[in-house]
Structure 1
Amino acid sequence: MARGGHRFAQPAQEEEFKNPLKTIDRWGWLGESIYGQRVLCLASGGGRQGPLYAAAGAIVTVVDISGAQLEIDRKVAADRGLQLKTVEASMDDLSMFAPTDFDIVIHPVSTCYVPDVAPIFREVAKVLCSGGLYISQHKTPTSLQAKIKRSEQGYELTEPYYRNGPLPEVKGSRHREEGTLEYLHRWDQLVGGICQAGMVIEDLVEPIHAKKDAEPNSFEDRSMFIAPYVRIKARRIGQDKPRVEAGSLWLPGS
């Protein structure tokens, strides 16, 4: 799919590099600058996330399970004179990194491709420093439950909320990806899972893709009825252990 020019394998455009921080942080969650920050772009190969964060001054590592996606990142970085590191790995195993290796973890939509999100959140919490940010985006459960075609009543829910196994295959939908296995994750698994891993949620938004009077069955029309994505800002707490200064530890006889 990456080599075939899939929509999630399109490099960032020239216009987006003019103000990279504004491009990647439209809600202002990252502050005025991320210069020198250690950023992990998780499951986000494809020539967009990593290069833009690097262009904004961050020290960037990109993890993706697809070598072809990482290839695009390396090419974009080389063409623009940017520095970034790429690691081919699954998002639910970050054992190649040490605890507190990163200040920020950026995680675009991809949790829908794994059956269990809990291990991912635990891995993220492990590699984040205390106070570090985890910004992730997910497909909403309702969007994955609903039909892709509109009926007289709107977009009907046809998939159970409490379910096991992947969703049925789909064709002709921008809300789903053809040729992939996708899994529905409930709100308690998404929001609760992030909290249980040792992070606190500071903000949550549903990016607006709706358009009034859009063509029926279009992405924008369906988004009028169902928010397709949720974006979550969370912060790691309690990660760093207190340091004991030399000479401050009392020992018997000292």
Structure 2
Amino acid sequence: MDELAAFNRSRWNALAKARIQYSRPHLDMNEKGAQEYLNKNLGFSHEPMPEIAGKDVFCLASGGGQQTAVFGILGANVTVLDLSDTQLERDREAATHHGYDLTAVHGDMRDLSSFADNNFDIVFHAYSINFVPDAAMVIKQVGRIVRPGGIYRLTFSNPFWTMEETDWTEKGYPLRQPYITGQQLQETDTEWTFEDDHGNPQKVAGPHEFMHTFSAIFNGLIAANFRITGFREWPEGDGNADPGTWEHLLSVLPPFMSVTAVSIK
């Protein structure tokens, strides 16, 4: 484990122990809720929604007991890899609660060499690729382990998202960082502020994050023999909100991008 992995592992363990929203397993989810989640998070593809039951699904760097619960409830054979031990504990908690089998692997998304070629029907990659500097390296490995015709769903940060709502200047929100793929983002505040599952305020130092340009993501997918089938920008904000507020900033620039792609190798 290199310095970056060790640092981000410690940060995500701390965030998970503080019960950040990404580390709250879906213990109350039922089959209807799981299908609704998929309709929202895969339904923007122009391909038909795949049948999930019996599929081999890989939740890549997606620990926390949320995505794995969705696929497990719907009858998939679920494998999850994550750098955080605590996040994987949440996945095991959800699997035990709902009664589905789960393969949980502690590891780094930059090294998928332990997985065989053509091993998965679906790779679901929740927001995490921005925690490593080389997106193409990860995407290339996904292209190897997904089966021909298999689906890769990837979420990444909008590369123009380099501002905060407090940066409002009466004219707009200025870009603060160069548009360079792989560059570490220089945050003005390295601590993540959030409420835990009991509503208590928490402030925990976050992991290192890196910019990935649109060309890095989409050319990486093309080079790995993926055909892009859908693209989504989210969440939506409120254009009528007061400038300098979170909802107004979201209406100007959504922070997250999700793409679906099909392997054509």
Task: Report TM bin, short chain.
Answer: 0.7 to 0.9
Give the counterpart of 1:168 among 175, 186, 192: 186
Q: Does 1:193 align with 2:207?
A: no
- TM-score using structure 1 length: 0.85
The structure with the larger Rg is 1
What is the match of residue 75 of structure 1? 93
Deviation at 1:164, TM superposition (A): 5.7
What is the match of residue 104 of structure 1? 122
Q: What SS does structure 2 have at the residue aligned with 1:103?
A: strand
Q: Report which of the two has the higher share of helix.
A: 2
Aligned AA (1:39): V
Q: Does 1:116 align with 2:130?
A: no
Q: What SS does structure 2 have at the residue aligned with 1:18?
A: helix
Deviation at 1:16, TM superposition (A): 5.8
Instruction: Report Cα offsets for 1:188-243 as digits up to 9, x if no partner.
Output: 101111111111111111123212333544332211111211110111112xxxxx
Counterparts of 1:217 and 1:139, CA distance in 2: 21
Range 48-57 or range 156-165, more displaced = 156-165
Q: What SS does structure 2 have at the residue aligned with 1:53?
A: helix
Question: In percent, how many aligned pairs have the same letter?
Answer: 31
Is contact 1:147–1:158 with CA below 8 Å preserved after alignment?
Answer: no
Counterparts of 1:15 and 1:148, CA distance in 2: 33
Counterparts of 2:37 and 2:121, CA distance in 1: 20
- TM-score using structure 2 length: 0.82
Sort the Cα spacing of 1:215 and 1:225 in 2 relative to 1 into closer, same or farther, 3 A.
Answer: same
Deviation at 1:139, TM superposition (A): 0.6
Is contact 2:120–2:145 with CA below 8 Å preserved after alignment?
Answer: yes
Q: What SS does structure 2 have at the residue aligned with 1:184?
A: coil
Sort the Cα spacing of 1:178 and 1:17 in 2 relative to 1 into closer, same or farther, 3 A.
Answer: farther
Q: What SS does structure 1 have at the residue aligned with 2:51?
A: coil
Q: Does 1:134 align with 2:152?
A: yes
Q: What SS does structure 2 have at the residue aligned with 1:161?
A: coil
Q: What SS does structure 2 have at the residue aligned with 1:206?
A: strand
Give the counterpart of 2:102 among 81, 84, 97: 84
Q: Does 1:41 align with 2:59?
A: yes
> Unpaired runs of 5+ in structure 1?
239-254
What is the match of residue 196 of structure 2? none
Is contact 1:63–1:89 with CA below 8 Å preserved after alignment?
Answer: yes
Q: How many residues align?
A: 235
Aligned AA (1:54): G
What is the match of residue 81 of structure 2? 63
RMSD between superposed Cα atoms in Å: 2.1
Q: Does 1:210 align with 2:228?
A: no
Sort the Cα spacing of 1:74 and 1:163 in 2 relative to 1 into closer, same or farther, 3 A.
Answer: closer
